[in-house]
Structure 1
């Protein structure tokens, strides 16, 4: 075991008792060919490595050449996962130096295919698979000393992976990918991160019938038994790590908001699908105002997909509107939530509690002209309500049809259209189609990366309105000041910090968001805003505001090799 912390950004030397194959097999400690001659002497590495002593830069160049030789992104994804499980410093050096190229491989859109093929790609264990049959063992599993340094956990139950639905244990690819971004974009040391899969079974017949499926082969457990399992998990986490950040990821809409409300005041926790998506959408909309010239208080928002993510977006934008001076009752009328049954209106059956604040009054739409009198479709909403903003979180490819987009362009000089669903195959529209159907006037943001557009004879990058602009900074800020809670106002601070960094603030012809290559700097900016808000709300202890930036920067790890010294194994 390492005797000196390997988790500090400023560590100058690591002491460890591991040697030989044991040292090379530890991805947090392995340097591969970069072990110095003196280290090879001290750790019995001669003969186990080729004689040439390399550098991290040479290793990055070598791995990048191999990576680019593959024909498909899923091959690149598998290669990077193997690299992460072999040498984490090299993996993150490669990622940090090539963020724009590798983000779509490490995370969306490729991570979706990675989850679907997780059982076939599985090589080495990473993180924790906590299955319901082992509910009584959770505390003992978490108690192992290897987890002593954990500060950030991302957890899923695999039921709603991106727009792909129930992937069972394959959903583990999401926590692994999210935490890779926590390190690559936010700078958290990988030793402080822990991906967790809560395996409560699956209702995906392909998983259940697959002889290679690695998860618990059982139909998905629900109801009281499910809730008791989640309670056992949260209680064990809070006991083991009093200051840990717990991020909920890709839970079904019936559980996402419910679990957030149940646990948000018990520990430092948030749901990225609800709050992170809301913050990046709000921040990007605040940036779009610089381009459209339409004040926030005059915006009308149509959201396709009225689940936890869509209502989370609406809630934060609504709060931003009231912050800007609009009465809350008036702000509420400016949202048009469209789900599988059409526009949500009062009196509809099956309305969830989180949807309730966004129901349209039947009387308000009584005079609308509809294509079908028994259902208010998205096109009806666009034609009658004339929204200025159209946001998609439905997971329904093609939901923003040509008639819908042309109707948006007819009523708006610069329509704001954000097809945010992931992966790319589930996007409500492609930027190319939006550009054509709006005659080049749409202000576009997408959840996944797309090729650049041609505008005025030049290439124009499509803004990737992805949570990677928000959650690494939120986590970094909360962890740095040991915030006891994560509040909606902290996410509002994150959204406004992102908007303040918009290139379009100074030039309306530029992008709404900073480039992906700047995500590390963006994360620090967001972290500072979040930490200051936490301090303002009294959620930190014994910290002065002039300490906050230093605390944040002390958590930002840059992948590099440091010297090792051998010590005797502890007998305690």
Structure 2
């Protein structure tokens, strides 16, 4: 007995050495009917990194929220970890580690294994929604792009993060009185989550009337090497979409050595500042004050988590902007006392989106998850912003309202799925009834002796 607390483990471990038996492993699931799978490879678990097979706790937790918020029946969920090894030496040395004791499989062998998994899911569970969770940047987007048109699937870190951020921004833009098409967006962090937010925000700008080129020119994305611009040769294809023309920034004094966040804020009139960098304190007082000097209601979203990796604290942002900032964070922050009032801080937690997406696709019987469905989820979330009726309120609904909000979002998702031709047509009333009927509620049945 180790003295450690015992853990009830549930879920399916699919390890690389058993790659030729994945369909058989899936057949061992406890319930033949599965509505939602959440799968991880354990490489980018929250803010703690590579946990190998120990990453299974994340799919378990996510699916618990599918049930709590979305109303997905718990017995119709399946948490899975793809165990491709781990590069975490501490885990490999742990005698109680449950996973395959091997360094991570990489390259084409890794992608071939993922493909074997997907083909097995298509064979055994062709109508199940598959959510990818906590995959590292080099794998997350290629996997999503490869399979998004083959089965019912989405990536929470890319699309879920983007949708909740966009939903909060849509509410903030209305409160600030500046249309989305007039925003100048500065983003710190150019990984899969950051680019995902930019992609959906850009799509919303196009819907607001901008051309794609005009929308792209409103994004100023900064990574560890500085501003993305066309003169850089180290950018991925996804990052190059947002590279500013080099001649647009060539006169900036630090252009040769990389243009940092402070340089960008100094040169443009940024209205939105988003952080997905995990760089603690990157939104410094001087940067925030410079932004607030040029815009009345700056929209500032330090979205990195956990709190130890947040680009700024909510308290600092409120103080440095004299209470004018519209703030949402990736980590939880208490209301900030300022000017004799308490300013609530919205947390851009994906819990607002992924359970509702699951509910929407299950209730509508969707066959695919389209970008338009993600945008519909974001807009539906924005419609529920308390700040629209009370500018002093939070940008996002309170947690006790999550189940009600999830039903609203799910209905919007299902309606968009029908418009996109990936779900059977129904009336709005019938779709609403399906959403309500799909939401499971835990309740103990009441048994009473029969009366004679």
TM-score (norm 1): 0.75
Conserved? CA contact 1:166–1:204, under 8 Å? yes
Correspondence 1:131-150 to 2 at 5 A: 131-144=15-28, 146-150=30-34
- SS of the residue corresponding to residue 512 of structure 1 reads coil
Please say if 1:129 is aligned against 2:38: no
- Aligned ranges for residues 53-68 of structure 1 at < 5 Å? none
DSSP 3-state at the match of 2:71: coil
Task: Encode CA deviations 1:308-363: one digit per residue, 9 max, x unaligned.
Answer: 11011001111111111112111100101111111111132331122121111111
Give 1:462's aligned residue: 345
Comparing 244-253 with 146-155, which one deviates more in the overlay? 146-155
In structure 2, the residue matched to 1:295 is 179
C-alpha deviation, 1:121, in angstroms: 5.6
Quick one: which of 222, 243, 255 aligns to 2:139? 255
**Counterpart selection for 2:105 from 221, 226, 236:** 221
Alignment partner of 1:553 out of 406, 419, 436: 436
- For these two proteins, the number of residue pairs brought into alignment is 446
- Of the structure 1 ranges 479-488 and 208-217, higher mean CA displacement relative to structure 2 is found in 208-217
Residue in 1 aligned with 2:88? 204
Match in the other structure for 1:524: 407
Q: Which residue of 1 aligns with 2:286?
A: 403
Counterpart pick for 1:382 among 233, 255, 265? 265
Deviation at 1:544, TM superposition (A): 4.1
Question: 2: CA distance between counterparts of 1:292 and 1:478?
Answer: 33
1:265 aligns with 2:149: yes
Q: Which has the greater radius of gyration?
A: 1
Equivalents in 2 of 1:122, 1:152: separation in Å?
A: 27
Q: Distance in 1 between matches of 2:446 and 2:27?
A: 29
Q: Contact conserved, 1:120 with 1:212, CA < 8 A, in 2?
A: no
* Aligned position for 2:52: 168
In structure 2, relative to structure 1, the CA distance for the partners of 1:145 and 1:442 (3 Å cut) is closer
| Runs of 4+ residues over 6 Å off in structure 1 | none
Residue 173 to residue 457, structure 1, CA distance change in 2 (3 Å): same
Q: Give yes or no for contact 1:532–1:545 (8 Å, CA) kept in 2.
A: yes
More displaced stretch, 135-144 vs 317-326: 135-144
Q: CA 1:145–1:419 in 2, change beyond 3 Å: closer, same or farther?
A: closer
SS at match of 2:173: helix
Paired residue secondary structure (1:146): coil
Measured in 2, the distance between the counterparts of 1:508 and 1:384 equals: 29
Structure 1 residue corresponding to 2:43, chosen from 142, 159, 166: 159
Q: Is the 8 A contact 2:36 2:78 kept in 1?
A: yes
| Structure 2: gaps of 5 or more residues | 448-452
Secondary structure at the aligned position of 2:145 is classed as: helix
| 1:484 and 2:386 correspond | no
Q: For each residue in 1:40-94, what CA deviation from the matched residue of structure 2 results, as whole angstroms up to 9, or x when unmatched? A: xxxxxxxxxxxxxxxxxxxxxxxxxxxxxxxxxxxxxxxxxxxxxxxxxxxxxxx
Deviations 1:504-549 (A, max 9, x none): 2222222211111101011001000000000111111364443111
Matches of 1:120 and 1:393, distance apart in 2: 35
Q: RMSD value over aligned CA atoms?
A: 1.8
Does 2:241 align with 1:351? no
